[in-house]
């Protein structure tokens, strides 16, 4: 079981890091939607940082949860048009 959570934690960390790199803010600057996109992006980046902190402390359960939550912020933002994201591949469900 430990190997499963280690593999999954590695995979989700990579997925979140790659998704953060691939997503770009879609709404124009100076609009409320642009501000909302920046907030979602900040949340995702914060969860990536938190997950890495948990991983460093050998707390894989909370690391995995953090990486999952971070990706959810990006994926939800992509679905409502806050981010331009790749439509092909494994990063987003849009």
**Structural domains in the chain?**
2-84 (1.20.1270.90)
pLDDT of 73 higher than 80: yes
pLDDT of 2 higher than 90: no
Q: Which has the closest alpha carbon to 53: 11, 5, 15, 9? A: 9
CA distances from 23 to 11, 16, 31, 80, 91 (A): 18, 10, 18, 13, 10
In terms of pLDDT, which residue wins out, 90 or 57? 57
In terms of pLDDT, which residue wins out, 36 or 1? 36
Separation between Cα atoms, residue 46 and residue 20, nearest integer Å: 11
pLDDT of 20 higher than 80: yes
Name the burial class of residue 88, with classes exposed (0-12), middle (13-18) and buried (19+) by CB atoms within 10 angstroms of its CB. exposed
Average pLDDT over residues 47-66: 98
Q: Does the pTM of the predicted model rise above 0.85?
A: yes
**Banded pLDDT at 1 (limits 50, 70, 90):** low
């Amino acid at each position: 079981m430990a190997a499963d959570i280690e593999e999954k934690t590695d995979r989700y960390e990579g997925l979140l890091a790659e998704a953060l790199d691939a997503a770009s803010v879609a709404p124009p600057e100076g609009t409320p939607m642009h501000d909302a996109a920046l907030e979602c992006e900040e949340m995702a980046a914060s969860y990536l940082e938190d997950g890495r902190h948990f991983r460093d402390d050998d707390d894989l359960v909370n690391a995995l949860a953090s990486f999952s939550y971070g990706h959810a912020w990006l994926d939800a933002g992509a679905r409502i048009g806050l981010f331009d994201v790749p439509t092909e591949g494994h990063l987003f469900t849009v």
